[in-house]
A and B are shown apart, each in its own frame.
Chain A
């Protein structure tokens, strides 16, 4: 199942077959271990070693569309830790309840990070 989806991914990005192969290893490795694995973009860039960031975004987006990865935009509390995960930037409310502070806070751009998950 996975290999079929990855074949499609290689079909889409033939020049990046090595990077897609490393993504396959990463996903298989994540599958074999318990728990959810989270990767920030920089870490994925280091692991996959694609030719540029644009194509990395495309590969990861396509992998998300195929259900191989999950992607979230995480809003961080100013006291540390996440207070909400969202599928898209446009889904993030301008104000959000910060359970760590016990009140609503205005969401700033700097308080958002992008996370990729290997396991649902």
Chain B
């Protein structure tokens, strides 16, 4: 940005309300002469299941208006909860759709850094794409409401993103536990974190979709996406452990109970009630 006088520049600087952005604007001109290369940075926003994901457009607009990051909305349709629960047939199609889109983005922007922000089932898709190998690499990976298995092998895919992955966890989020309890292949990393050296788990008091707003994005996501800076959540440091009942309830695999009940019912109907 060019200014005709010192007074003009001071007026511009006084217009900043965010101290971090103020410091960058104040000091940036003195760093330009270092001739540092500026790469294009694209952030892919990936939604969860059973949603039209209105948050994607709102957050994309806010990112576009306040940074030089190019946000791109990627989706896979309104994935029905029944399809979500079935461990075969349906999931791979959604993964392939996102993967095709990511390949297209890479083809169109061969030199750009591509980061991803994924929510809920989108985190599962990102993990599957990373684990599958192939050419897709991410710059930064930000997960929220994650349903990825807590045993996911991040070290096996560590060459495909800039560590650390940031995992936003909601204390009032029950859906990752539900996904793990009621189906196969999912985990409750959005409730308890990964506890992995390649991932930074960050805890909030939020529910499953509590992250998906411009305010949270500006305060907690942008510093990470722009500079890799992890802004600490106040709740992370002072959170209390789960109660025993909640812990048991969240860890219980309802799917096995459902299978057992179903099996007993089927056996009773076919063998004993003839």
Give the B-binding residues of A (Cβ under 8 A). 11-16, 40-42, 45-46, 51-58, 60-61, 88-90, 92, 94, 107-109, 112-114
Contact = CB atoms under 8 A, between A and B. Distances in A.
Contacts of A108: 6
A13 B162 CA distance: 12
B193 to A, nearest CB: 16
B227 A55 contact: yes
Contacts of A54: 24, 28, 226-227
A10 to B, nearest CB: 10
Given A57-B27, A94-B6, A114-B27, A14 B200 contact: yes
B7 A94 contact: yes
A57 B24 contact: yes
A88 B23 CA distance: 9
Max chain B C-beta neighbours (<10 A), residue from A14, A55, A113:
A14
B66 to A, nearest CB: 14
Nearest to A40: B30
B36 interface: yes
A92 B33 CA distance: 22
A116 B20 CA distance: 18
Max chain A C-beta neighbours (<10 A), residue from B23, B162, B163, B230:
B23
Contacts of B228: 13-16, 51, 55
B64 interface: no
Interface in B1-52: 3, 5-7, 9-10, 13-14, 20, 23-24, 26-28, 30-34, 36-39
14 contacts: A52-B39, A53-B31, A54-B24, A54-B28, A55-B227, A55-B228, A55-B229, A58-B20, A58-B227, A60-B27, A89-B9, A89-B13, A90-B14, A94-B7
B210 interface: no
A94 B5 CA distance: 9
Contacts of A113: 30
A53 B6 contact: no
A9 to B, nearest CB: 10
Nearest to B36: A53
B31 A45 contact: yes
Interface in B150-208: 162-164, 200
Contacts of B33: 42
B49 to A, nearest CB: 30
Contacts of B24: 54, 57-58, 61
A109 B5 contact: yes
B6 to A, nearest CB: 5
B9 A109 contact: yes
B229 A53 contact: no
A14 B163 contact: yes
B27 A41 contact: yes
Contacts of B38: 52
A94 B11 CA distance: 12
B26 A88 contact: yes
Contacts of B36: 45, 52-53
Given A11-B230, A90-B14, A53 B26 contact: no
A41 B13 contact: no
Contact of B31 (A15, A57, A92): A57
B34 A53 contact: yes
A60 B228 CA distance: 14
B61 to A, nearest CB: 22
Q: Which 10 A-B pairs have the closest CB atoms?
A: A15-B228, A114-B30, A53-B31, A61-B23, A55-B227, A53-B36, A42-B34, A45-B34, A41-B31, A41-B30
